[in-house]
Amino acid sequence: MISSLRQQPSIAISGSDVVLRKRHGTLVQPQSFLPSLVRGKSQRSLVSVQKPLHLACVGVGNFGSVKSFDSVKGFGSDDLVKCEAYEADRSEVEGAATPSEAAKKVKIGIYFATWWALNVVFNIYNKKVLNAYPYPWLTSTLSLACGSLMMLISWATRIAEAPKTDFEFWKTLFPVAVAHTIGHVAATVSMSKVAVSFTHIIKSGEPAFSVLVSRFILGETFPVPVYLSLLPIIGGCALAAVTELNFNMIGFMGAMISNLAFVFRNIFSKKGMKGNSVSGMNYYACLSILSLAILTPFAIAVEGPQMWAAGWQTALSEIGPQFIWWVAAQSIFYHLYNQVSYMSLDEISPLTFSIGNTMKRISVIVSSIIIFHTPVQPVNALGAAIAVFGTFLYSQSKQ
């Protein structure tokens, strides 16, 4: 607001360290703007303000320059004082301190782009490793071991703040870790048997498992549009499976088991995260450590060191030293993409996360088909598109 005040003998304005002096040069005691500038009946003010003002600048006389208030000369009783000010409303002050909506959208966009890019890179290197070294149980174990080691080093060197946990936290985390371990191994087994694109097409059917488990086990009900959105998901996945050129039952069942396991992981995570002060990054780090402890003995029992050693020598002889880089890359990028996804949950809503997850599957499917030259029939591509579109409808109907 622009306030034009005629100088009065008994009026002073305080704000932004600006004080007006009387004509004879003595300092007038600052007056509060609340509730008004009027001090008494005999005093006259041209402005009454109900909120405090912050003064931006002061101009005297012809408003062309700022004159000194210490000088009596040139400051007559008829001079005008121009004050450019704004009301210091509490909501406006607090709003000014918060980041803009545009900055928030940019931050979310960076999260999504990083998440998708890391996931695409992981799937590429993971498939390369599994093609040369078909031991999914060890590959899954190495992924968890690498992430756990990275976070332990980060905590030890204080790069990241270590979480404050207790026995109750780890007790609550245990069922989450069991479900996460099963889902991770099952997905890796699936990708060792079928194309990456096919695994992710089947995994796009996860919302159907989520609704069925929530409805028949937890007793939750959903609006009709949610149930209707399952039809294209189930139909698209079925069409893609039937027309898959390199269909493998173990690969198909691995993706299905992974869907079911991750649904239970999400359910247990929601219960475990209530009232929990652990950040998303540290929560996933703890989850990786506990999952590693659960998976290691089973990996040894199912495959074993002898098979690993023989397969390692074969892979090195066929691929060369770059095979070691493939293993390291898939392990590192697995942890990073999951860590970013959990960190993004601290910034975005579950609905936005669900939409982002749908778009992630599209990027993985398309990139894997291009890189690995996966043969795709038109009907197979149609089934994949229907399934992914159904997943998008599901996320929208749950809003």
Give the Å distances, CA to CA, from 301 to 88, 181, 184. 69, 15, 17
Tokens of 347: 């910034």
CA distance 228 to 222: 10
Q: Where does the pLDDT of residue 351 fall: very low under 50, low under 70, confident under 90, or very high at 90 and above?
A: low
Tokens of 65: 């320059």
CA distance 82 to 85: 10
Q: Taking 60 as the threshold, does the pLDDT of residue 74 lie above it?
A: no
CA distance 43 to 93: 32
**Number of separate helices (H) and strands (E) present in the chain:** 13, 3
Give me the pLDDT at residue 392, please.
84
Tokens of 272: 């475990």
Tokens of 382: 């149609």
Give the Å distances, CA to CA, from 264 to 267, 269, 270, 292. 5, 8, 10, 18
Q: Where does the pLDDT of residue 350 fall: very low under 50, low under 70, confident under 90, or very high at 90 and above?
A: low
Helix (H) or strand (E) holding 388: helix 378-397
Segment of 140-149, 222-231, 272-281 carrying the highest mean pLDDT: 140-149
CA distance 336 to 353: 17
Give me the pLDDT at residue 209, please.
87
Neighbouring C-beta atoms of residue 377, cutoff 10 Å: 12
3-state secondary structure of 208: helix
Q: Taking 50 as the threshold, does the pLDDT of residue 60 lie above it?
A: no
Closest CA to 383 of 256, 175, 239: 239
| First-to-last C-alpha distance (Å) of the chain | 41
Tokens of 357: 């997850």
Q: Which tens digit of pLDDT belongs to each residue from 189-213?
A: 999 999 999 999 998 888 888 888 8
Q: Where are the beta strands (DSSP E) in 73-134?
A: 80-87
CA distance 24 to 368: 84
Interval 84-95 mean pLDDT: 48
Dihedral sign from CA coordinates of 12, 18, 20, 21: positive
Q: Taking 50 as the threshold, does the pLDDT of residue 121 lie above it?
A: yes
Give the Å distances, CA to CA, from 213 to 25, 68, 208, 273, 393. 81, 77, 9, 20, 19
Helix (H) or strand (E) holding 301: helix 280-302
More confident residue, 118 or 55: 118
Q: Taking 50 as the threshold, does the pLDDT of residue 368 lie above it?
A: yes
How many residues in total does the chain contain?
A: 399
